[in-house]
Structure 1
Amino acid sequence: MDVPAHHPHLVHEVREAGLAGVGQCEVRQRTDAQEGDLARRLEVPLVASYHTPSGEYAAYLSVDGTVERVVRGTATAYERWFLDRAAVVVVPSPETGRYVREKVGTDTPVAVVQNGVDTDFFRPVDAERERAFRERHGLPDGPLVGYTGRHGYEKDLEVLVRAADGLDATVAFAGDGPARAELESAADEVDADVRFLGFLPREELPTFYSTLDAFAFPSPVETQGLVALEANACGTPVASVDAGALSDTIDDGENGYTAPAGDPAALRDVIRRTLDERERLREGCLDRREATSVAAAVEDLRGVYADVLGGDD
């Protein structure tokens, strides 16, 4: 294992792409064991980031209930072993923090640091760009509801398709994934205008979000729901489920509305309410831009580092 030429004050293990380091620390994408060994060899604290509860995806990796239980148990035991070695666990939402304490079962302190949104990039666009986006993708005038992200079974996207039934709006899915074919089949069975746009280039995402009248998010497994914050940063309110991190990310009546998970009729109701109150909710979304920015997240992470190092900054 290579050891950095400088001597860091701490080592921060980042499981997934996220915040980079701030100040004199060592941030590397290695295996968990390598990170723990590096911190131990350098005799510095280990900070661990936790973004994805891998045990929760066991059902999608297993062929039967027995295998699922083994996969889930093994994943959780490994996570607990690693997190117990850290000085603090950084999580992107209060819900993920609760999961780490209650499900993983670690006693290591938890600090919530959101994955910040690049608010210089994700910002409202002008009406001309919105019109051009609709024309480019063959989207009609009128209310537009959308989702972007992986089309995975765990995202419960069929709930959104069912919620579109009878909705006086076009529903646009951007992205792709293993569930897409089944979603397209489900869309054929409902009385709704459902479109599948495929992958959008990243540079189109601010225009996509801005063009939407509501962003719909039926996934119950989010550890933060960054796309919801990106939509908000573009002035678009979110109709989501009251589950996972979305319970914390979406404040009813402020930046969107929430419905019980797995209930198409309830999601349809909050989509309609979000559309009806779109202009008022837009102001609440834009008011949150600074608080959810990368700069705010970096300051929060700097504070975590300072606490670990005993107040040094």
Structure 2
Amino acid sequence: MAQTNRVLRVLIATDTYPPDVNGAGYFTHRLAEGLAGRGHRVHVVCPSDLGDPYVTANGGVTEHRLRSAPIPLQESMRMAVPLGIGGHTARLVARLDPDVVHVQSHFTVSRTALRRARAVGVPVVFTNHFMPDNLYAHAHLPQGVHSVAGSVAWRDMVRVAGAADHVTTPTPRAARLLREKGFARAVEAISCGIDLERFHPREGERAAARARFGLPDRDTVVFVGRLDVEKRIDDTIRALARVVSERDAQLVLAGTGQREQELRALAAGLGIADRVRFLGFVPDEDLPLVYAAGDVFAIASVAELQSIATLEAMSTGLPVVAADAMALPHLVEEGRNGFLFPAGDVAALAEHLLTVLGPDDRRRAMGTASREIALRHDQRRSLERFEAVYTSLGAAVPAPVRVERVIAA
């Protein structure tokens, strides 16, 4: 693929970054590494994973870690301490003199970087990964306030995004959602992308992969992601209880989250504790083997703007059974690489899993189709598009603007 001849100075601002485990953090990390791998000078400003601020060179990416504190009720993540962020970010923008600032959310670090960049005429790209469903789970908000909290959060996000020069989101469905929530300008859909070389078909490695994780050699349904409310893994466990009455099957869950103990109790209550295997956190280098151990990927979530894990599974050659919700339908061609089921319909989920776990030749054909669809999401193509966006914005740097009245402090 073509690559820009211009070396770009890119400052990425994000409120979540590894070791955080979530889709937005994962995408941002791969974006930073991918741009650096293509010869650009990449800096990331994000919360410190240790609490105290520090700067480190991680491969070709320089990380500027801001002082942070634990997020209440969310032990696995930290947030930047607001005091001092404005001055720190302003000095960083002045010193680095970036061609573009790419912010990944409307939260504290990102909105501060957006404000400081626009104040000195540096163009800004805004990528939205936000869904209120994630906020509800992390903040432990009661069901009764979800609607009001969601409306407030969307208005805030739309207001912040409105100050950026170019707005992107991972899928056409996610772009349409932004417009439905009141964002009046153009939104470009740019796929998060997938490393097609790292995640590739490994059917011949299935037995070894299962042995690696201590899994019995039986039909295997896989899910990779956080074990949190919005992922609706309880639906998949209930569906498995129906599946095991007809097939020798198991569900493998790779990830950690707030609902793990609740999900273990559910499996035990359904009498299938031995058929639901919790792998916990799986190091990034071992992640391709989780997919290799599976026969089908199942995802019941209703809050996916794209789902990197589903793309990884497809790239590995797994059929997909997914909830017909948000952006997941963009990844499933009904009957070709898998099936969609109405969100919350456990019986339909179980029926589709039984269909996919049927004849080997049908499962293999669906897996081949998944790989073909995943080829459309080559991360090199995504990186190339972001390069083009950065370059086009740099060609016409906007005049400094005041955005204090546009963006809430």
Contact 1:233 1:285 in 2 (8 A): yes
Task: Name the structure 1 match of 2:174.
Answer: 96
Distance 1:254 1:304 in 2: 34
Contact 1:45 1:87 in 2 (8 A): yes
TM-superposed CA distance for 1:263, in Å, is 0.9
Distance 1:184 1:144 in 2: 18
Matched, 1:81 2:159: yes
Say if 1:298 and 1:181 are closer, same or farther in 2 by CA, change over 3 A: same
Say if 1:140 and 1:12 are closer, same or farther in 2 by CA, change over 3 A: closer
Task: Name the structure 1 match of 2:294.
Answer: 212
Which piece of structure 1 moves more, 242-251 or 209-218? 242-251
Say if 1:260 and 1:38 are closer, same or farther in 2 by CA, change over 3 A: same
Distance 1:290 1:310 in 2: 31
* Structure 2 counterpart of 1:38, from 96, 116, 120: 116
* Structure 2 counterpart of 1:134, from 188, 197, 210: 210
Distance 1:126 1:311 in 2: 49
Which stretches in structure 2 are left out of the alignment for 5+ residues?
Answer: 1-7, 16-23, 41-97, 398-409
Contact 2:99 2:123 in 1 (8 A): no
Contact 1:123 1:234 in 2 (8 A): yes
Task: Name the structure 2 match of 1:3.
Answer: none
Which deviations, in whole Å up to 9, do the C-alpha atoms of 1:13-33 show, x marking residues without a partner? 556432235867334667233
Matched, 1:241 2:329: no
Distance 1:41 1:142 in 2: 59
More strand by share: 2
Task: Name the structure 1 match of 2:339.
Answer: 257
TM-superposed CA distance for 1:98, in Å, is 1.6
Report the number of matched residues. 303
Matched, 1:143 2:219: yes
Distance 2:380 2:269 in 1: 45
Percent identity over the alignment is: 30
Letter in 2 for 1:108: R
Distance 2:138 2:12 in 1: 29
Scaled by the length of structure 1, the TM-score of the pair is 0.85
Scaled by the length of structure 2, the TM-score of the pair is 0.67
Which piece of structure 1 moves more, 14-23 or 147-156? 14-23
Contact 1:10 1:26 in 2 (8 A): yes
Letter in 2 for 1:199: F
Contact 1:10 1:44 in 2 (8 A): no
Task: Name the structure 2 match of 1:4.
Answer: none
Distance 1:124 1:93 in 2: 24
Which deviations, in whole Å up to 9, do the C-alpha atoms of 1:1-44 show, x marking residues without a partner? xxxxxxx7997655643223586733466723322333323324
Distance 1:69 1:290 in 2: 37
TM-superposed CA distance for 1:138, in Å, is 3.2
Letter in 2 for 1:149: G
Say if 1:305 and 1:145 are closer, same or farther in 2 by CA, change over 3 A: same
* Structure 1 counterpart of 2:184, from 95, 100, 107: 107
SS in 2 for 1:166: helix
TM-superposed CA distance for 1:246, in Å, is 0.6
SS in 2 for 1:139: coil
Distance 1:232 1:257 in 2: 13
TM-superposed CA distance for 1:65, in Å, is 5.1
Letter in 2 for 1:203: E
Contact 1:9 1:45 in 2 (8 A): no
Which stretches in structure 1 are left out of the alignment for 5+ residues?
Answer: 1-7
